[in-house]
Structure 1
């Protein structure tokens, strides 16, 4: 039986108590993911800005290699892709957008991704990514101080 890949997406929106400029500094630095993501043990970067490559070792020992596709300092949008994800998905493109909420020191972070997944794996992959994004946004808030 031939497997069928389905295009899907995941979005997590969370408000954190950290100034927008500090949050953007954390995200746009490209490296340092291991400081705010509980899933990443080590992270190294080759290059800078769009075109850079990020090589991460996950806490379970897996390798996660990412291409940095967009770092828009004006709009505060960061986009990356994972050419060979260590999970049963393909064509993964992740986007992080941040904006001030208007409340003192509060920032809204939107972390989304689009990808193809086997229909049988969709709910598991969506739940895993939603949890990872929520934990990551919380971690960004903890390391992004004025």
Structure 2
């Protein structure tokens, strides 16, 4: 099983970051890889079990199901149902915590998945750097624009 873990600091208060990031379908507004996204069946984006269906800027299509969601813990977990990547059993968690000094936010995004050994380095890069790290930077820019 491959594991990816990326963390970062966003120079904004945790409540502002979570208010923006908690929308499971909101990544289409701030993540540079997402071209279009919608939640199937008109469900709320914070309802456990909802499925976001989205298209990447390169044309790839994904479907992801929200497995758990907590405003109290400022965290959600989801899995991939359909992906153009050669992976299986993908489960990811996104969460934020307050940095006690300076009014900043600690962000962590992690995933575990099965992938063939010959694809692992490429997929770890794609998930870790291209998706999670790029997403944290883009999220900071989006949140700061709203403050």
Note whether the superposition's TM-score is higher than 0.5: yes
What residue in structure 1 maps to residue 7 of structure 2? 13
RMSD: 1.2
What residue in structure 2 maps to residue 36 of structure 1? 30
**One of 91, 94, 104 as aligned partner of 1:93:** 91
3-state DSSP of counterpart to 1:60:
coil
3-state DSSP of counterpart to 1:83:
strand
Richer in helix (by share): 2
What residue in structure 1 maps to residue 139 of structure 2? 140
Q: Stretches of 4+ moved more than 4 A in 1?
A: none
Runs (5+) with no aligned partner, structure 2 = none
Q: Is 104-113 or 136-145 further displaced after alignment? A: 136-145
* Shift of residue 79, structure 1, vs aligned partner: 0.7
- Kept in 2: contact 1:37–1:136 (CA 8 A): yes
**One of 16, 21, 27 as aligned partner of 1:27:** 21
Q: TM-score, normalised by structure 2?
A: 0.90
Give me the whole-angstrom Cα distance separating, in 2, the residues matched to 1:26 and 1:71.
14
- Kept in 1: contact 2:24–2:52 (CA 8 A): yes
Give me the whole-angstrom Cα distance separating, in 2, the residues matched to 1:70 and 1:81.
10
Q: TM-score, normalised by structure 1?
A: 0.90
What residue in structure 2 maps to residue 110 of structure 1? 108
Write the deviation string for residues 8-50 of structure 1: whole angstroms up to 9, x where unpaired: 1100010111211121122211122112111100111131221
What residue in structure 1 maps to residue 69 of structure 2? 71
* Shift of residue 60, structure 1, vs aligned partner: 0.7
Q: Is 23-32 or 134-143 further displaced after alignment? A: 23-32
